[in-house]
Amino acid sequence: MGRPISFGEVEAALVWLDPVRETVLARGVAQRLFERGEALECVWTGARLSVGTLDIDHCLPWSAWPCGDLWNLLPASRHANQRLKKDRLPSASALSAARERILRWWDLAWRSDSALGPRFDREATAALPVSAGASSDEIFAALEWRRLRLRQDQQVEEWAGVYAS
């Protein structure tokens, strides 16, 4: 293109940036909700959460898809996140069973916030097969699709949920 490039500029632009596993924002939002008197539930078990039992789970496991987007960060009990689900992919039935709790979290934590709502929408549009302005139901359907693709493409181990025998 005839544009001069300084020494090292190309190399600097090609540096791989590893994604950072970060849940501080989601924890802070959950803390604010607790302070407002909102009841939060573990998306996987339905158990009522407290500050002491709260953990933030990556719905689609970080080990398979390093994504810290807001739509992928969900409140879970420490026990469910670290001992039951761990780094496994929720099965289609486990995700379906958690649907209403996930939608409630998205609306309460992200979509109702004037600053975080647009970020939630941008991140969902960038990572999931949805258009700008998608409803929570459409984003959830896209999450189900992404879950299926991870299962098919990477053979990520599934977690059947807490109600499976």
pLDDT at 18 over 70: no
Which has the closest alpha carbon to 38: 119, 107, 98? 107
Strand pairing report for 158-159 and 89-90: parallel
Provide the pLDDT for residue 13.
Answer: 72
Give dist(CA 57, CA 79) in Å, integer.
Answer: 11
Close Cβ partners of 79 (under 8 Å, ≥ 6 residues apart) = 53
pLDDT at 135 over 50: yes
Strand pairing report for 73-77 and 158-159: unpaired
pLDDT > 70 fraction of the chain, expressed in percent and rounded: 95
Split at pLDDT 50, 70, 90, the class of 16 is low
Give dist(CA 61, CA 98) in Å, integer.
Answer: 16
Residues in a beta bridge with 163:
none
Q: Give per-residue pLDDT as tens, 20-72.
A: 778 999 999 999 999 999 999 999 999 999 999 999 999 999 999 999 999 99
Domain spans of the chain? 18-152
